[in-house]
Chain A
């Protein structure tokens, strides 16, 4: 009898966590908005503190929300159908992330294939070039903007290539961890997942190294025209996602050490691993379109 009850789709009674999360996002938005204004205008205010309070609330919410869910899952309230809901939800979330990166890749392609050639006078845009910036030469990477800002182009060899190899390997180790979990080989699972998180951390520290190099030695900054803009926003948002993915996988590692997950019930791990493969694919696209081409 009880068994049948548990087969039902689990609908939680009510939960305080979403409203806590709503307050968190509110604080983050207000804080971030004011922080940006204060930073760029040089005025003083509470933006930064509100932002920190928002993130603290968000982290508090995530702990509470996931604690509830882990408890429910471990007490067996979740049916296979619910597991499908979570997996499909995660897949669609990743699709939304793909479209988010798509906006920035779109900006890159448009600037490179259309805006810059037009400014350089291609097609019937000769007058544009003549009237606006007659000395401007269309080029990519845009190392001299129409306005005259100069910078250096980031090469693909060296750090970016090493980072590509690191991230590709991490995707493989992440997959091995997944296989190990499904085969219930916990030792190998811990090892492989640990290596994945470690590789993620190395990737991020090299990325920081690259940014320092770009800013201090190459003069490639967020302000150096659309080449720098697309470079930093694409790699920057990718870096944020790698950081988030690594934190997720690290938490999965902690949970694995606590003995969570079974060979056929490990949605959280699976979601984290999907996310990791996703940031890996984004990096490959990035490496190809931002660095090599």
Chain B
């Protein structure tokens, strides 16, 4: 008798299982990877707009030489918080959101491996950014030492809000680590029968390696902020030579985190592009195995190149040589990837749907960012480029036209699968072309002013940079406005406007996620599929 009731009870559970609860509780209590993916993506987009608004303040101040709009101290807060928000609030959560939505669907898993922890790792993020943003309104202002919070700027010369900065970064780190543990365990343990390692889609592969990097380096960041906290508030001298420490040691610890972090923000992008290009070239990805090995090589090399951020700190020449050569080595696996994408398109039946447009822009513009990175890797010339707008140009090419463009490509590629409706293609094309033109007006001239010697992180500059900066700012405003088109498109898509799409959505799309109905049901693969 009791067995029967238990079975019935379980069946009841099972029915509830299919219908998400209504209202706010659905989002607060959810354990569903699709809900949590949506939450991550919307959060990332809101943070993207917030950090973007700060970039608008920066560009408005730099529109003309001289101080016009904001105080230098507030300008520094804007550059700092812009960087922190874009890295930890926009790019990383967006990739985690994509991983949440896609990894279980791509490997045939019913959900993420640890669904409740998944919810926790999302919901602590908005709180972390609430703390960071509200610290801007504290007496003495928010963090103003740059997103890299170099000592002694963050220790001796920072305000009280540093304590809140430290604890908010701790929460961001906890969130990333839990998110990464979830992804890694899902991929190790939840693959459907027959989904062998070398059958996994590249997005899954790149995220697996990214998750490993996250677990390896986010704790080091936690250590770095902890040392900043004790140096500032408790009289330790990790970064103070008078006590036997060294401010340069901060940079070593920070960049030991920071350089793998750079790849954390680009490896999933490589995965996305490797999914999209074959679809619209209607060919299999060229060199799948080499893509996997290249990703792993990039990840391993990322641990031994950190000091190329520090060529001008007075390291021994041997160290400068080592880090220069190790850095250049990374261009080999990265080159493998770019050539593989190009080879995939070679003699393919190309078509230029919106995701493909973004993917193509990614390949060209990310390569520009990669090549300027190679220039920066050359120690002697880095002495000229260091801390100039050339560096700003470099990392915005890899992060905006690299990471952000790949996220947009991914959203356009999988959005019809998520909503079941085709997005507004006209708006999407407007979004693409406006972004493409404006982003280059915004970032390309930065190379020139940087090479001519304009330093980064300053609210004012010498007169000879005025013309270029005017164009850079105009490009910036245009790029900012272009993202409002994206906002309009996303709101429209979430209200389920548009033509219904087929299960496959795109003619050349292959993979498990294209075999389930569009829109993807609330629960997929409750019984794992068998992969042949």
Contacts and interface: CB of A to CB of B under 8 A. Distances in A.
Contacts of A15: 29, 31, 116, 119
A146 B219 contact: no
A25 B171 contact: yes
A26 B128 CA distance: 7
Contact of A103 (B124, B223, B241, B523): B223
Interface string A106-119: 11001100111011
B10 A2 contact: yes
B31 A229 contact: no
B244 A115 contact: yes
Interface stretch (B228-236, B323-331, B439-447): B228-236
A276 B355 CA distance: 49
B113 A89 contact: yes
B174 interface: yes
Interface string A21-52: 11101101110111011011100000000000
Interface stretch (A91-99, A194-202, A206-214, A251-259): A91-99
A102 interface: yes
B368 interface: no
Interface stretch (B249-257, B459-467, B498-506): B249-257
A92 B235 contact: no
B29 A33 contact: no
B163 A37 contact: yes
A126 interface: no
A161 interface: no
B224 interface: yes
Given A18-B117, A103-B222, A233-B236, A115 B256 contact: no
B249 A111 contact: yes
Interface residues of A, number: 75
A289 interface: no
Nearest to A40: B233
Task: Tell me if A's interface is mostly helix, strand, loop or mixed.
Answer: helix
A124 B318 CA distance: 13
Contact of B215 (A92, A133, A142): A92
Place the interface of chain B in its size category.
Answer: 35 or more
B186 to A, nearest CB: 8
Interface hub of A96, A133, A233 (most chain B Cβ within 10 A) = A96
A19 B236 contact: no
A86 B114 CA distance: 8
A293 interface: no
A110 B252 contact: yes
A146 B241 CA distance: 7
16 contacts: A11-B115, A13-B17, A16-B28, A22-B123, A26-B127, A29-B127, A33-B164, A89-B114, A96-B177, A111-B249, A115-B244, A116-B244, A146-B243, A222-B234, A222-B236, A229-B237
Given A106-B253, A222-B236, A225-B237, 8 more contacts: A2-B6, A5-B10, A9-B110, A18-B119, A145-B237, A147-B243, A226-B238, A233-B226
Interface of B: 3, 6-7, 10, 13-14, 16-17, 20-21, 25-26, 28-32, 109-111, 113-117, 119-120, 123-124, 127-128, 130-131, 160, 163-164, 166-168, 170-171, 174, 177, 180-182, 184-185, 188-190, 215-220, 222-224, 226-227, 229-230, 233-238, 241-246, 248-249, 252-253, 256, 316, 523, 526-527
